[in-house]
Amino acid sequence: MSAARTFKGTIGIVPALDVDSPEQLDLVVRQTSKVDGVAGYKLGLTSVLRFGLAEAVRRLRDMTDLPLLYDHQKAGPDMPDMATRFVALCKEAAVDGLILFPVAGPTAVDRFVGESVEAGIIPIVGGEIPVPDYCISGGGYMSDDTLAHILQRAALNKADHFVLPAHDNAKVEVWSRWLAGNVKDATVFLTGFGPLGGSIGTAFAAASSVPRRFAIVGRLITSSKAPGDAAKRLVEELDDIRAPAPKK
């Protein structure tokens, strides 16, 4: 994966750029890109539909050299043979990582993760969003063990970056322990904070078996009139997590 910019450090914040205007995009990135602890950015469909993927990446590259993830909301639940074309377009646009939710089955995992690895793009693999009625146990349609199957299959395809929903700490702990025991140098991205119910402190504690943890944060930063200050406050929460416990 040498072509991609990698996430430095072991703990950090990744602002999710799901914003409503070019002016808001520029404000968020310019204010947060110099905040120590901001590790990269997640680019979503709002900016990509407005500018196109390549142009959205170009605009961001004028403001930051940090890694850029593209979240296709969510790539992967598609015919497996779409993986080659999708990944080729993302490589051409020079994104560093792709958030993939290959819920379409094992072949989709193999193709979307495998094509990303082959292209030198970091696959960041998940399969569950942080809403209460996503899985069958909460009234939804997805099997409760869908994400477990996806993580296992993705690891076989050399994925080592994963995204977990932060609203269920018990699940985060189980998944993180599995990743720590089965994937060398695993990295976890946690998502679903603030309005979606997750807490950075408790989610990071639940994922503590994985040393490299990053919080993908949207509205807590992008809805603020001072996104740089909001990012700094979140980084301060991470500093508390990073600090060693006092000796007794």
In 3D space, the residue among 161, 18, 122, 142 whose CA is nearest the CA of residue 77 turns out to be 142
pLDDT < 50 regions, the chain: 1-2, 243-248
Q: For the chain, where are the alpha helices, taking DSSP H only?
A: 22-32, 45-51, 53-61, 82-92, 106-119, 146-156, 169-182, 200-206, 219-222, 227-242
Asked if residue 64 is part of any domain, the answer here is yes
Structural domain of 180: 11-242
Length of the chain counted residue by residue? 248
**C-alpha span between 241 and 167 (Å, rounded):** 18
Asked if residue 41 is part of any domain, the answer here is yes
CATH code of residue 221: 3.20.20.70
Question: How many domains is the chain partitioned into structurally?
Answer: 1
pLDDT tens-digit map of 191-215: 988 765 668 888 899 999 998 999 9
Whether the pTM exceeds 0.75: the reply is yes
Asked if residue 106 is part of any domain, the answer here is yes
pLDDT tens-digit map of 130-150: 888 988 999 999 999 999 999
The pLDDT value given to residue 89 = 95
The pLDDT value given to residue 195 = 61
Asked if residue 34 is part of any domain, the answer here is yes
Could you give the 3-state DSSP secondary structure of residue 95? coil
Asked if residue 247 is part of any domain, the answer here is no
| Alpha carbon 119 to chain centroid, angstroms | 19
Asked if residue 6 is part of any domain, the answer here is no
